A and B are shown apart, each in its own frame.
Chain A
């Protein structure tokens, strides 16, 4: 067991990150808003952590003090939240695919800025980000409770007035408006909550990866997170969590499969490298056969009904 945990520690932590990033995309989607901006806020969170921990907080202490991580998280949450309110207020006038395009543009702008600004280390990025934990698995001490907290948050949100307002907007924005619900306010709120969550994950991720550069938070990541939600399920908070974890573990599983002897070289190669192709195929296949994803509220209700 302990051998398994050391081998797969990094993967387990990545799976927890993925689940939270999927939740960050799920939040605006609760209100029917397809935003692909999460990688942008994730990148911002990472740069906040990278810059602060290698400059002002660089005391040389080892392991890196957790209080500093908490301060970084507060700064990242504030930065992501404020930026999200501004971007959200502007971009959420757009609907459907136009909103998706605008948020992709936002992620690209951030990427180009990161590539060219001195403070973000340009194309090289920022190296030697200090580690608060000695092993990969240690990061679960932060990431685990964070996932539980964010899952609880969204679980509760789905059951209260504010969450119902989001769902009403998703179902019929005009009717929701006529029932006294302010669509703009609620859409910006959901977008901002998602952005804050992505920013927080970025902070932990930067320490975890030890290095941060413009390759974090790209269009590829947007599509990956979208796949997490669409495959896992877009109608209950469990969907993105399961989707994020499963699709992050999938490449490792495939890599293991690719190792079986006697497999044609091309197939083995595809199994190793074809992650994004596979995500694309999965999105299309699931969207056609299971429009609400694999885990749906109806499925959960049936499970509960079966129990004695």
Chain B
């Protein structure tokens, strides 16, 4: 069984068809790329997978269960975490708190246990802090734990978003343009980092990216969207040579 199965999903906004009868499957452990020109429906598809937008039709099966119309926090609790294209950190809060907030689902003690500082709540709190610091270490932000998230440089904010998403301990991680605004060197570092966490944390990753060399080098398989339609699906070499893709996206020179 595939980890994620997008089955005949469509989404209209008024007269605009943002996603048009899209179907594909993502296997456990895969790094799966989602590419396409601006407005192709990539982010809408992410929003459908994470419950921020309901599909007009179709199903999204995650580990065999349809999650297409669940609320975002229920989907997050099931193990799908994401980052946002237009960074949505808790900008006024410090870096550590941003990650701590995403540990929410991994603690069980209630409000009153927390208020009274009962041993179990204190233990959970300490574990959450340790885990958050560990994740900051993983993305290289240990030194900035006390800094205001909104004051970080752009690249650090993107890495903090990844740390926050990882704090959920997801099985499936959705990265929405994680390399946007990075220079080629940073892009390479990010690419290695994604491959590393994917192996280390037994993650499945779906990523949206505009930078073609990065996607081609990183992804096991790629789906290409154009005007909401899936026009190609396969390994990088196959997609790169697809006539429709070349016309729609890669340009005539390929």
Q: Is B one of A's binding partners?
A: yes
Chain A residues in the interface with B (C-beta under 8 A): 153, 156-157, 160-162, 164-165, 167-168, 171-172, 174-183, 189
Residue B1 lies at the interface, judged by CB distance under 8 Å to chain A: no
Chain A residue contacts of B82, Cβ below 8 A = 178
Check if A161 sits within 8 Å of B104, measured CB to CB: yes
Contact of B93 among A157, A162, A171, A183 (CB under 8 A): A171
Q: Is the CB of A156 within 8 A of B101?
A: no
Contact call A175/B104, Cβ cutoff below 8 A: no
Give A171 to B164 CA distance when docked, in angstroms.
15
**Residue among B84, B88, B90, B103 having the largest count of chain A Cβ atoms under 10 Å:** B90
Contacting residues, chain A, for B89 (C-beta < 8 A): 172, 175
Residue B237, interface by CB 8 Å: no
Contact with A along B63-89 (1 / 0, CB 8 A): 000000001110011000110100011
Instruction: For the complex, give the distance between the alpha carbons of A276 and B89 in Å.
Output: 39
Contact check, A180 vs B105: say whether CB atoms are below 8 A apart. Answer: yes
B114: chain A residues within 8 A (beta carbon) = 156, 160-162
Q: Would you call the interface of chain A mostly helix, strand, loop, or mixed?
A: helix
Instruction: Give the residue of A160, A175, A176 whose beta carbon is less than 8 angstroms from that of B84.
Output: A175
Chain A residues, CB < 8 A from B128: 161
Q: Is the Cβ of A177 less than 8 Å from the Cβ of B73?
A: yes
A–B complex contacts, Cβ < 8 Å, 5 sampled: A171-B90, A172-B88, A176-B90, A178-B82, A179-B164
B188: Cβ under 8 A from any A Cβ: no
Closest to B88 in A: A175
- State A165–B101 Cα separation when bound (angstroms): 6
Q: Closest CB of chain B to A191's CB: distance in Å? A: 14
A contact residues around B97 at 8 Å (CB):
164, 167
Docked Cα-Cα span, A156 to B88, in Å, equals 27
A180 to B109, CA, bound (A): 16
